[in-house]
Amino acid sequence: MRTLHSYGKSMAVIITFLLALMMLMPPNMAYAASTYTATGTESGADIAAIIAGTKPDASGNPYDSVEFPAGNYKYDLPDSVIISRPVKVKADTGAKVEFKGGSFRAHNNSADITFTGAGSFEMNNLNSYGFFSSNVNAKFNFDHTDFTIDGAKNFGIYAFGGCTMNIKGGSFTVKNCSNTGNEGGIEFDKGKLNVSDGAQLIVENNGNGNFGDIYMNGAMEVTGAKTKVIINESKAGFSGYGMVLAGGGTLKVDAGSVDINTSAAGRGINAGSNATNTIDLVNGAKLNVTANGGIATSGIRRAKVSVKGGSVLDVKGYSYAFDGSLLEASDRALVTLNGKVMDNASLKVFTGGTNGSTIMGGSVLENYKTSVVNGVVTENPAGNHLDNQPVNAAGEKLMRFDLKNFENSNIDITADPGNAAHPAYTYRVGKNHDGTAYVWAPAVEVRFWQSKEALDKDEADKMIASLSTIRGNKLGFVGAKVPEAPKAPAGKVFSHWVNANTGRAFDSNAAFSEQRTNVYPVYKDVPAGGNNSTKKVVKVHKVSPRTGDASMIFLYGGLVVGAVVVLMVLIKIRRRA
């Protein structure tokens, strides 16, 4: 058997051999992270190769980062700068880096480029694209820096095969792209575009609008209260758009804001299907879609838009604010659909999409043919701007109640006693519309009749008033006032109102849940000596309780004087005795 000592000697030999081998290794086999510091004297091809990793450091390894100190840098890039690895490009404070001609492209899973720093980057006069990706796993990152793409021949950003693009903080602008073609500013055919951490993304004056300034067949998410996306469309025509949601494209705005302004296009947001193309506004998000001129046919076309958590949706300036689109409003939403012709409908022939509103909360301004004002169903002066009457989640048709000075409060809606499929729920209102909350809720009616006979015969011309309130609430909650009783018949006076549904006296301060409550007056005979009797006039001698009757003063005075005289006589007689 071999001894432990012999094993130790063998191990020592092996370790010595490995150490010697390491001494013979070339330097570039021991990798260490490295940074290339630009000087401005590099050629465009050199800086492109350094960023791409094809021009290595002294050890033969790609640079992990490229840094631009303060100063101005201008490079004419080759057509394609292929990114196939993680690399960071940083512009220090005071650095202004300008790239012309070429584009950054990603084709494999490892492609991951990050632009960062307090300086700025600009790509202009580009031969094709600014950024191009054919791999959904590729990553383009912009971390708290200022980046501009100005004047690409085609799309400024084209995620043909998809990618993940993260814009965190800073500003990012795509403008004046596809000036001679039918492409646009940004197109995603797959993947995800994330804008967050207070970033400002501006996309404007791109293409002829066929693909929109942003064309999203992926997922776009805007996150953070200070994060903002602005689309300014100015070149599209009848078939052009500000933004497109195609295929499975979606937009989610979480506390951030998106402003889409069109001045030439026919549509603000154009989607393919309100079943798959969704727009979700949550946690105080804002989406404003505004036409400042141009064709301006549809604000949001064929999308499903959900507004909740105090979020705001405002669509105005288009013939159809919603065209073949679905609205879901809840939880303190603030929604304004202001179409010149229709607020929520489907443009005939061209749209091919269903439309409608499901409202469970919020102040939602869209114009149905009637609304309830102070408890009275009132015709809308603007007419009907809806194809379909709004409903709640249970499918109940809703009425709009215009409630003055109502905000930041909840409304309890009771279950429908006549239909178990209509449960109770709470309707929440946050901000209102300039002092008026437009609340959509199930309405119940209270009818007041001249008499029980008129009620029994259903004589409509003898109905005094019809008042409506929100199911489970008082008439006064919506500003309704009980009418005065009708003139009493001869020999009668009004006694009280009767609730025909219960047979008991009507309580105007009660909450009403039944679909309809009928009310009629009850009269009673004029009491004897009442208002119609002739009263005998009786003269009453009034006596002041404090001073007494003046005519009795002399009598009282005489009695007092007499008593005094008698008393004095008695005293005198007693002394003599």
- Same domain, yes or no, for 152 and 261? yes
Q: Residue 22 falls within a domain, yes or no?
A: no
Task: Report, as an integer, the average pLDDT of 18-42.
Answer: 68
| CB neighbours of residue 15 within 10 Å | 10
Using the 3D structure, point to which of 525, 543, 571 is the last residue of a domain: 525
Q: Residue 436 falls within a domain, yes or no?
A: yes
Q: Which helix (H) or strand (E) holds 558?
A: helix 553-576
Residue 415: exposed, middle, or buried by beta-carbon count in 10 A (0-12, 13-18, 19+)? Answer: middle
- Same domain, yes or no, for 146 and 281? yes
Q: Residue 28 falls within a domain, yes or no?
A: no
Q: Residue 563 falls within a domain, yes or no?
A: no
- Same domain, yes or no, for 261 and 119? yes
- Same domain, yes or no, for 218 and 309? yes
Q: Residue 78 falls within a domain, yes or no?
A: yes
Distance CA 38, CA 228 (A): 32
How high is the pLDDT of residue 572?
Answer: 53
User: SS3 letters for 68-92?
Assistant: ECCEEEEEECCCEEEECCEEEEEEC
Using the 3D structure, point to which of 525, 551, 569 is the last residue of a domain: 525
In DSSP terms, 469 is beta-bridged to 444
Return the higher-pLDDT residue of 74 and 15: 74
How high is the pLDDT of residue 237?
Answer: 76
- Same domain, yes or no, for 277 and 210? yes
Q: Residue 44 falls within a domain, yes or no?
A: no
Q: Please, what is the average pLDDT of the chain?
A: 90
- Same domain, yes or no, for 380 and 437? no
How high is the pLDDT of residue 568?
Answer: 58
- Same domain, yes or no, for 209 and 104? yes
Q: Residue 511 falls within a domain, yes or no?
A: yes
- Same domain, yes or no, for 385 and 444? no
In DSSP terms, 95 is beta-bridged to 71
- Using pLDDT thresholds of 50, 70 and 90, give the confidence band for residue 238: confident
Distance CA 277, CA 270 (A): 10
Phi-psi region of 472 (alpha: psi -120 to 50; beta: other; left: phi over 0): left
- Copy the structure tokens of residue 29: 């086999």
Contacts of residue 494, defined as CB under 8 A and 6 or more positions apart, other chains included, come to 485, 488, 521, 522, 523
How high is the pLDDT of residue 564?
Answer: 47
DSSP code of residue 536: P
Domain count, the chain: 2
pLDDT tens-place string over residues 523-555: 999 887 655 444 444 443 444 444 444 444 444
Distance CA 392, CA 361 (A): 9
CATH number at residue 521: 2.60.40.4270
Task: Report, as an integer, the average pLDDT of 130-144.
Answer: 98
Q: Which helix (H) or strand (E) holds 45?
A: helix 44-52
Distance CA 408, CA 394 (A): 24
- Copy the structure tokens of residue 508: 């105007």
Q: Residue 576 falls within a domain, yes or no?
A: no
**Residue 76 is part of which domain span?**
69-389+403-409
487 pLDDT higher than 50:
yes
CA angle at 95 for the pair 91 and 101, rounded to the nearest 5°: 80
- Same domain, yes or no, for 510 and 383? no
- Using pLDDT thresholds of 50, 70 and 90, give the confidence band for residue 210: confident
Evaluated on CA atoms 33, 67, 156, 206, the torsion sign reads positive
How high is the pLDDT of residue 560?
Answer: 44
- Same domain, yes or no, for 331 and 465? no
Using the 3D structure, point to which of 480, 504, 525 is the last residue of a domain: 525
- Same domain, yes or no, for 142 and 202? yes
Q: What phi, psi does 258 have (nearest 5°)? A: -130, 125
pLDDT tens-place string over residues 365-377: 999 999 999 999 9
pLDDT tens-place string over residues 450-477: 999 999 999 999 999 999 999 999 999 9
- Same domain, yes or no, for 138 and 282? yes
Length of the chain: 577
